[in-house]
Chains A and B, each alone.
Chain A
Amino acid sequence: MSDWTRRTALEIADALAAGEATSEEVVTAHLDRIAAVDGPVHAFLHVDADGALAEARAVDAERKAGAELPRLAGVPIAVKDVLVTRGLPTTAGSRILEGWVPPYDGTATRRLRAARMPILGKTNMDEFAMGSSTEHSGYGPTHNPWDLDRIPGGSGGGSAAALAAFEAPLAIGSDTGGSIRQPAAVTGTVGVKPTYGGVSRYGVIALASSLDQLGPCARTVEDAALLHEVIGGHDPMDATSLDEPVPPVVDAARRGREDGLKGVKVAVVKELGGEGYQEGVAQRFAESLDHLRAAGAEVVEVSCPSFAYALAAYYLILPSEASSNLAKYDSVRFGLRVDDGGSTVERVMAATRAAGFGDEVKRRVILGTYALSAGYYDAYYGSAQKVRTLIQRDFAAAFASADVLVSPTCPTTAFKLGEQLDDPLTMYLNDVATIPANLAGVPGMSLPAGLAPENGLPVGFQILAPARADDRLYRVGAALEAALDAKRGGPVLAGVPDLEGAK
């Protein structure tokens, strides 16, 4: 008997196409796995067993009748709860949206449905994607499948944990400052933030509109590429959507794996390493560079001095935009209303937002309100926007001398639940290496570089490419993945503890 939960999306797609399995069998295997392990992992906020099985059976029937189906038809997927799904509860991890059932689909949801991919359910996340650990979810944290006492990263910890726990072969994430890449790093999975505008944000619950980007999460680089092709591409419903074809990401992944990296120039970002980076993170990163050299790449170093100010600029721009975006949770058209029956709408609004928002959302909305207020706007928001220009210039200079930039995805491996919860500034530092890409709009990938020797936890390797050159991430990522798998004798996720029977 074959365990479909251990297969890649590509293997499942091939088996379905060859008639070696039905989508119903594959979906059932994943639902069984969710039932067995999601108690302790808590990757999902909602599981749609009936909907997933109905779509699986429909795909099987059409395939049997000889219909031509999309590449990933019948391959199940988990969707971060930030993406709006018609008929399926969508909360963005917030109590203020508890019980909301959207009357429409986001564009990415529509594309998943058109690709005939059964949706297993909605995954946990930090409230409105604000956080690096999922501990800011209004519905309790997700636990890292490598060590249930540790964080799975955030905000997309649910999607990453679902992959690492073999509850889903593919997942959707969203990345505003690292929310796809940092969870991928600490769970030993692959996550890609496409170029800003590469995937439509219509029907994605907004956090910071000049930074947010939807993207694919997977266990292999090629699987991520297949999902990227499904969700990417122009959408007239999103004014920031790029009106150009999806870069050839699937071909690039194949090329990287088969042909190596001869002629590719890789630059290490000096400022994203060194002091503050855990020993095992630095060690696995250095080994990955050796693999890239062995695959034919030339490895150099570049300096991006303005990156030192990226975190500060981000924590002005993000709260400012979030304070504006979250004004829509006003107790009128959807979501929670806390009403004593005799108060004015203004009082009801303030009581509703007090009850419905968690601490991190309150902090950031208040910070953004401050940064945008009269007398402070130029000093804070205005200065942050100038830093953004400086960071873009650093990227432009670096890409003039290299095809891709690389760094560790985050300074440390997964920390313990609760460890940083009362110290927002320490928590923010987890995204120090991922934030520059969002400020500049360039694409980035995290893939596993191995396990840190000191604690046996996954380390992430980050690749950054120029805007619109997402395919370079996949070429370099696939080459590194192939080299690491060959040396290790298999994927890093083979080492995840058996979770069945966990408390």
Chain B
Amino acid sequence: MATLDRADVARLAALARIDLSDADLDRLSGQLAAIVDAVATVAEVAGEDVPATSHPIPMANVTRPDEVRASLTQEEALSGAPAVEDGRFRVPQILGEEA
């Protein structure tokens, strides 16, 4: 299986929306390569005939009654937001200048 190099880690960090400095990349990419090598052993025993398990205790079609009940007020829902305006979440610009 492929291993993980510094460029891969930089690309994955960008996908995961985490800025990494050069020092972060140096430190994390070596550790991540070692971890990937160690976990790749799962392929040794994962034969074609083995079904996958996603959930330890199988359940299906779990529903609860569709009833109106108390929920957070608008004020409560906004109470932890970094920025609020007119009763809504205020966010930084979505598109950059060049868009």
Give A residues with C-beta under 8 Å from B: 100-104, 195-197, 210-211, 236-237, 239-240, 242, 306, 309, 312-313, 315-316, 323, 330-337, 339, 343-351, 353-354, 357, 359, 362-363, 365-367, 369-370, 373, 376, 379-380, 382-390, 392, 424-425, 438-442, 467
- Do the beta carbons of B42 and A344 come within 8 Å of each other? no
Contact B38 A337 (CB under 8 A): no
Contact B89 A332 (CB under 8 A): yes
Contact status B57-A343, CB under 8 Å: no
Of B15, B50, B82, B96, the residue contacting A369 (CB under 8 A) is: B15
Distance in angstroms between the alpha carbons of A306 and B41 in the assembled complex: 12
With a cutoff of 8 Å between Cβ atoms, the chain B residues found around residue A382 in the complex are: 46, 52
Nearest B residue to A104, CB-CB: B72
- Taking the nearest CB of chain A, how far is it from the CB of B46, in angstroms? 4
User: Could you tell me the distance in whole angstroms from the C-beta of B41 to the nearest C-beta in chain A?
Assistant: 5
Say whether B89 contacts A390, CB under 8 Å.
no
A384 contact set on B, CB distance < 8 A: 39, 42, 46
Give Cα A325–Cα B83 distance, bound, in whole angstroms.
Answer: 22
Q: Say whether B18 contacts A354, CB under 8 Å.
A: yes
Given contacts A309-B42, A363-B35, A390-B50, contact A196 B56 (CB under 8 A): yes
Contact B16 A366 (CB under 8 A): yes
In the assembled complex, how far is the CB of residue B35 from the closest CB belonging to chain A, in whole angstroms? Answer: 6
Residue of A331, A386, A388 touching B82 (CB-CB under 8 A): A331
Listed in ascending order, the chain B residues whose CB lies under 8 Å from chain A are 1-2, 4, 8-9, 12-20, 24, 27-28, 31-32, 34-36, 38-47, 50-57, 59, 62, 64-65, 72, 76-77, 79-83, 89, 91-96
Give every chain A residue within 8 A of B79 (Cβ-Cβ).
101, 103
Chain A min CB distance to B9 (Å) = 6
A-B contact pairs, 7 of them (CB 8 A): A332-B91, A334-B80, A339-B92, A385-B53, A386-B46, A390-B50, A392-B56
Q: Is the CB of B53 within 8 A of A392?
A: yes
Contact of B17 among A237, A239, A330 (CB under 8 A): A330
The secondary structure that dominates the B interface is loop
Q: Which residue of B lies closest to A90 (CB)?
A: B80
The 7 A-B residue pairs with the shortest CB-CB distance in the complex, in nearest-first order: A441-B56, A334-B80, A337-B82, A383-B46, A385-B52, A103-B76, A354-B19
Chain A residues closer than 8 Å to B4, beta-carbon distance: 370
Contact at B18–A309, with CB atoms within 8 Å? no
Q: Are B95 and A388 in contact (CB under 8 A)?
A: no
Distance of A345 Cα from B39 Cα, bound (Å): 34
- The interface residues of chain A lying within 8 Å CB-to-CB of B81 are 332-334
B-chain residues with CB within 8 Å of residue A309 when the two chains form the complex: 41-42, 44-45
DSSP class of A's interface residues: helix, strand, loop or mixed? helix
B83 touches which one: A315, A337, A367 (CB < 8 A)? A337
B85 to chain A minimum Cβ distance, whole angstroms, is 13
- On whether the beta carbons of B72 and A370 are closer than 8 Å, the reply is no
**CA–CA, A268 and B75, complex, Å:** 55
CB closest residue in chain B, given A351: B19
Q: A348-B92, A386-B47 are in contact. Are A312 and B38 (CB under 8 A)?
A: yes
Q: Given contacts A210-B54, A367-B36, A439-B56, is CB(A333)–CB(B42) below 8 Å?
A: no
Of B12, B31, B54, B91, the residue contacting A385 (CB under 8 A) is B54
B77 to chain A: which residues have CB within 8 Å? 103
A386 to B43, CA, bound (A): 9
Do A312 and B18 have beta carbons less than 8 Å apart? no
Q: Is there contact, CB below 8 Å, between A336 and B94?
A: no
Give the residues in chain B near A313, CB-CB below 8 Å: 39, 42
Q: How far is the CA of A101 from the CA of B94 in the complex (A)?
A: 27
Q: Are A353 and B19 in contact (CB under 8 A)?
A: yes
The residue of chain B having its C-beta at the shortest distance from the C-beta of A331 within the complex is: B82
Do A366 and B94 touch (CB < 8 A)?
A: no
B93, A344: Cβ atoms closer than 8 Å: yes
Give the distance in Å from the alpha carbon of A197 to the alpha carbon of B56 in the complex: 9
Whether A370 pairs with B56 at a CB distance below 8 angstroms is no
Q: Which residue of A lies closest to B49 (CB)?
A: A386
Chain A residue contacts of B19, Cβ below 8 A: 350-351, 353-354
A349-B42 contact in complex given A337-B83, A339-B92, A370-B4, C-beta closer than 8 Å: no
